[in-house]
């Protein structure tokens, strides 16, 4: 999956600094696109020395480290040579071969959105500032502290013998199917969320719920928590026609178009297809 790179390559431990060194990586976003340096037929994250217009006092925010090198979010648009740099829409991470760069691009995007959304205190409206001892923003007026928001969401692969239940979400295009997934509610156990969401979205009762693994999903600020569960395939499937427009049982040998295993949904489907669950 996208986050499973060697631990020494990517480290999101917070460091309080805005002093950008010449070899430090810089990430600048223009909307949903990330500035990348062209390197032959490929791309790489630019370093400060690659963009002469960036000064040591540029408006920057520390993000994380890659290969033990600091990575900074640059807020002001740098002046770059179009023959050497390009803005790539961050969906490139789905097919990009350098997985560590893909992960940096989407985690940086999540942090950029969080910092942007919390520039001012939600209680009194004062401008917030970074805390020096942890990744958080604090209001100097009323001392309200804001941490990055992570929303827990369940995703469940429902199986019955040689079949798996897959659903077509109303946001999907074409003949594309995936697993049932939804946010957990306030005060709700994850296992209870699995039962509730499956019942609400496709009308089925599930049993033998088993935890699989989790995956951070920065685009929605989510933590996807994966489960396998079983259901009787004689139950009538009732799609809610809101989130889910169609759902059906599929044999291992005849699965529809579905996510690649860069996502937890794709990995769980892949496990089923290979008879590993």
* 31: pLDDT strictly greater than 90: yes
Within the chain, strands assigned E span: 10-11, 25-27, 29-30, 33-39, 42-44, 60-66, 69-74, 85-89, 129-130, 137-138, 145-146, 151-160, 163-169, 180-183, 207-217, 222-230, 244-251
pLDDT band at 58 (very low <50, low <70, confident <90, very high): low
SS3 of 144, please? coil
Mean pLDDT rounded to a whole number for the chain = 91
Overall pTM surpassing 0.85 (yes/no): yes
pLDDT score at 5: 44
Q: Where do the domains of the chain lie, and which CATH numbers do they carry?
A: 10-117 (3.90.79), 119-148 (no CATH), 151-273 (3.90.79.10)
* 2: pLDDT strictly greater than 60: no
pLDDT score at 6: 44
- Residue 75 phi, psi dihedral angles, 5° rounding: -80, -40
């Amino acid at each position: 999956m996208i986050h499973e790179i060697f631990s020494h390559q990517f480290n999101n431990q917070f460091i309080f600094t805005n002093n950008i060194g010449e070899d430090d990586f810089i990430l600048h976003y223009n909307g949903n696109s990330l500035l990348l340096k062209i390197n032959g037929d490929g791309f790489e994250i630019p370093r400060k020395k690659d963009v002469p217009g960036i000064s040591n006092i540029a408006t920057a925010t520390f993000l994380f480290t890659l290969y033990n090198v600091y990575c900074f979010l640059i807020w002001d648009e740098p002046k770059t040579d179009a023959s050497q740099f390009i803005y790539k829409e961050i969906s490139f991470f789905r097919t990009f071969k350098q997985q560590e760069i893909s992960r940096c691009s989407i985690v940086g995007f999540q942090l950029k959105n969080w910092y942007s959304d919390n520039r001012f205190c939600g209680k009194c409206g004062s401008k917030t500032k970074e805390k020096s001892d942890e990744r958080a923003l604090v209001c100097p007026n009323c001392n309200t502290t804001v941490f990055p928001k992570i929303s827990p969401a369940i995703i469940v692969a429902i199986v019955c013998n040689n079949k798996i239940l897959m659903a077509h979400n109303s946001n999907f295009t074409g003949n594309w199917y995936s697993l049932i997934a939804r946010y957990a509610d306030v005060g709700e156990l994850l296992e209870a969320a699995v039962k509730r969401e499956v019942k609400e979205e496709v009308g089925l009762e599930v049993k033998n719920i088993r935890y699989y693994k989790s995956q951070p999903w920065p685009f929605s600020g989510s933590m996807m928590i994966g489960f396998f569960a079983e259901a009787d395939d004689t139950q009538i499937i009732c799609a809610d026609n809101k989130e889910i427009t169609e759902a059906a049982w599929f044999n291992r040998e005849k699965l529809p178009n579905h996510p690649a295993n860069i996502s937890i949904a794709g990995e769980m489907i892949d496990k089923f297809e290979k008879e590993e669950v």
